[in-house]
Amino acid sequence: MAKVLMKGNEAVGAAAIEAGCRFFFGYPITPQNEIPEYMSRELPKVGGMFVQAESEIAAINMVYGAAGAGARVMTSSSSPGISLKQEGISYLAGAELPCVIVNMMRGGPGLGGIQPSQTDYFQATRGGGNGDYRVLVLAPSDVQELVDLVIEGFDLADEYRNPVMILGDGMIGQMMEPVEFKEREKRELPPKDWATTGTNGKRKPNIINSLYLNAEDLEKHNTYLQNKYNKMREKEVRVESYNVEDADVVISAYGTTARIAKTAISKLEKEGYKVGLIRPISLFPYPYDEFNKIKDDCKGVLTVEMNTGQMLDDVRIALNGRVPTYFYGRTGGMVPTPEEIVNKVKEIYGGAK
Amino acid sequence: MEERIIIAGFGGQGVMAMGQLITYSGMIEGKKVSWLPSYGPEMRGGTANCNVIISTEPVGSPVVVEASTAIVLNKPSLDKFESAVVPGGKLFINSSLIDRKSTRDDIDVYYVPATEIANELGNPRVANMVMLGAYLEVSNTVEVESILEAFGKVFGESKAHLLPLNKEALEKGMETVKQVQTDTV
pLDDT tens digits for range B133-175? 999 999 999 999 999 999 999 999 899 999 999 999 999 999 9
Q: What's the average model confidence in pLDDT over A322-345?
A: 97
- Percent of chain B scoring above 70 in pLDDT: 94
Which ipTM value was assigned to this complex? 0.94
At A184 the pLDDT is 87
Nearest to A176 among B20, B40, B61 (CB): B20
Is A163 exposed, middle or buried, given 0-12, 13-18 or 19+ CB atoms closer than 10 A? buried
Residues A304 and A229 in one domain: no
In terms of domains, do A82 and A213 share one? yes
Residue A201 inside a domain? The answer is no
**pLDDT at position A185:** 86
DSSP letter assigned to residue A116: B
pLDDT of residue B182: 54
pLDDT > 70 fraction of chain A, expressed in percent and rounded: 99
- Tell me the one-letter amino acid at B76: P
Give the pLDDT score at B123.
95
Provide the pLDDT for residue B44.
Answer: 58
Q: What is the mean pLDDT of chain B?
A: 93
How far apart (Å, rounded) are the C-alpha atoms in residues B175 and B177?
Answer: 6
What stretches of chain A show up as alpha helix (H) in DSSP? Answer: 8-18, 34-42, 56-68, 79-84, 86-94, 121-125, 143-160, 170-174, 215-235, 255-270, 311-319, 338-349
- For CA atoms A44, A47, A48, A53, the dihedral sign is positive
Which of B22, B31, B39 best probes binding to A when mutated, by most A CB atoms within 10 angstroms? B39
Which residues in chain B are closer than 8 Å to A177, comparing Cβ atoms? 33-35, 59
Cβ contact (<8 Å) for B39 and A256? Answer: no
Residues A170 and A245 in one domain: no
> Are A15 and A160 part of one and the same domain?
yes
Residues of A in contact with B27 (CB under 8 A): 3, 5, 178
Please check the confidence at residue A1 and state whether its pLDDT lies above 70. Answer: no
Has residue A353 got a pLDDT over 80? no
Q: Is residue A157 part of a domain?
A: yes
pLDDT tens-digit readout, A239-259? 999 999 999 999 999 999 999
A199 within some domain = no
Asked if residue B106 has pLDDT above 90, the reply is: yes
Closest-CA residue to B170 (of B141, B146, B136, B142): B136
pLDDT digits (tens, 9 = 90+) for A192-239: 999 999 999 999 999 999 999 999 999 999 999 999 999 999 999 999
Identify the sign of the CA torsion B139, B144, B147, B149: negative
Domain identity same for A231 and A110: yes
Output the pLDDT for position B185: 40
Q: Does A204 reside within a domain?
A: no
Mean pLDDT in residue range B60-82: 96
| Residue A229 counted as domain residue | yes
Q: Tally the domains of chain A.
A: 2
Whether residue A107 is found in the same domain as residue A225? yes
Query: Does residue A87 share a domain with residue A8?
Result: yes
Q: Considering the domain boundaries, does residue A294 fall inside one?
A: yes
* B151 Cβ under 8 Å from any chain A Cβ: no
B12 has a chain A CB within 8 A of its CB: no
Residue A307 domain boundaries:
240-349
Q: Are residues A110 and A9 in the same domain?
A: yes
User: With an 8 Å Cβ cutoff, are B59 and A177 in contact?
Assistant: yes
Judgement on whether residues A67 and A173 belong to the same structural domain of the protein: yes
Contact list in B for residue A114 (CB cut-off 8 A) is 39-40
**Is B152 in CB contact (< 8 Å) with chain A?**
no
Q: Exposure string (b/e) for B126-145, b if CB count within 10 Å is 16 or more?
A: bbbbbbbbbbbbbbebbebe
A219 domain-assigned: yes
Query: Which domains does chain B possess?
Result: 2-183 (3.40.920.10)
Buried b (16+ CB within 10 A) or exposed e, A312-331: bbbbbebbeeebebbbbbbb
| A145 shares a domain with A65 | yes
Tens-place pLDDT, residues A54-84? 999 999 999 999 999 999 999 999 999 999 9
Task: Summarize pLDDT for A262-290 with one digit per residue, the tens.
Answer: 999 999 999 999 999 999 999 999 999 99
pLDDT for A124 equals 98
In a domain? residue A48 = yes
The C-alpha of B147 sits at a distance from chain A's nearest C-alpha, in angstroms, of 14
Contact list in B for residue A338 (CB cut-off 8 A) is 60-61, 65
Question: Shortest Cα distance from A260 to chain B (angstroms)?
Answer: 4
Residue A113 scores a pLDDT above 80: yes
Give the SS3 label for residue A102. strand
Q: What is the pLDDT of residues B47-70, one digit of tens each?
A: 899 999 999 999 999 999 999 999
Average pLDDT over residues A176-183: 94
Better-scored residue on pLDDT, A172 or B42: A172
Are A176 and B34 inside 8 Å of each other by CB? yes
A342 and A229 part of one domain: no
Same domain for A150 and A247, yes or no, is no
Pairwise pLDDT comparison (B44 vs A204), residue with the higher score = A204
pLDDT of A128 above 90? yes
Q: What is the CATH number of the domain that holds A339?
A: 3.40.50.920
First to last CA, chain A: 47
Asked if residue B183 has pLDDT above 60, the reply is no
Give strand pairing partners of B33.
Answer: B54
Q: What is the CATH number of the domain that holds A100?
A: 3.40.50.970
Put simply, whether A115 touches B (Cβ < 8 Å) is: yes
